[in-house]
Amino acid sequence: MSRTAVYTGTFDPVHLGHLDIIERGCKVFDRLIVAVGINPDKSPLLTIDERVALLREVTARFGNVTVEPFTGLAVHFVKQVGGTCMLRGLRTTSDLEYEFTMSLANMTLDPEIETVFLMAKDIYSHLSSSLLKQIAAFGGDLGKFLPEQALSIIKGKVGSTGAR
């Protein structure tokens, strides 16, 4: 049986912590769909098209990963693409409460879809897109946190907006 998982997120921008989850997740599942969504609590720095294009570029080396934008409920998107699992990354105990709530809500909405968590690698467990945008706003070096393809896009954007 072929197993398809969906890794949802805002990815504003995709960073090395996300990429690590994608690289490990695509070994666990036959097919991994990275689903780029709209989080109403965040005002993104990159447009949805920019985030999708960047993710497609940095995941092109993985044979079983595709990237798609999505709107609406994640569980509906998972069903629509024939998936059975949602993949999430867990960084710290502070992620746990939010992720626990989300996975329970998703389980209630669709009991056939499981949420699978991969622990963040220690070197990436402090990384978040919001932190990276703050570092960028103050001219910090993002070379150790972002894939090369993201660096110039972020540098071009920062300064023109105060998005977090």
Residue closer to ligand ADP by CB (options 8, 59) is 8
Q: Which region, judged by CB under 6 A, interacts with ligand ADP, from 23-31, 43-51, 125-133, 147-155?
A: 125-133
Rounded Cα distance between 141 and 151, Å, is: 9
Pick one of 129, 132, 136, 150: the residue that binds ligand ADP (CB under 6 A).
Answer: 129
CA distances from 132 to 12, 136, 141 (A): 9, 6, 9
Rule CB under 6 A: is residue 124 a binding residue for ligand ADP?
yes
Rule CB under 6 A: is residue 23 a binding residue for ligand ADP?
no
Angle at 163 between CA 11 and CA 158, to 5 degrees: 90
Rule CB under 6 A: is residue 64 a binding residue for ligand ADP?
no
Q: Which region, judged by CB under 6 A, interacts with ligand ADP, from 16-24, 50-58, 76-84, 136-144?
A: 16-24
Assess whether 126 carries a catalytic annotation: no
Assess whether 129 carries a catalytic annotation: yes
Rule CB under 6 A: is residue 17 a binding residue for ligand ADP?
yes
Q: Contact positions toward ligand ADP, by CB under 6 A?
A: 8-11, 17-18, 21, 39, 88-89, 91, 95, 120, 124, 127-129
Active site residues: 18, 42, 91, 129
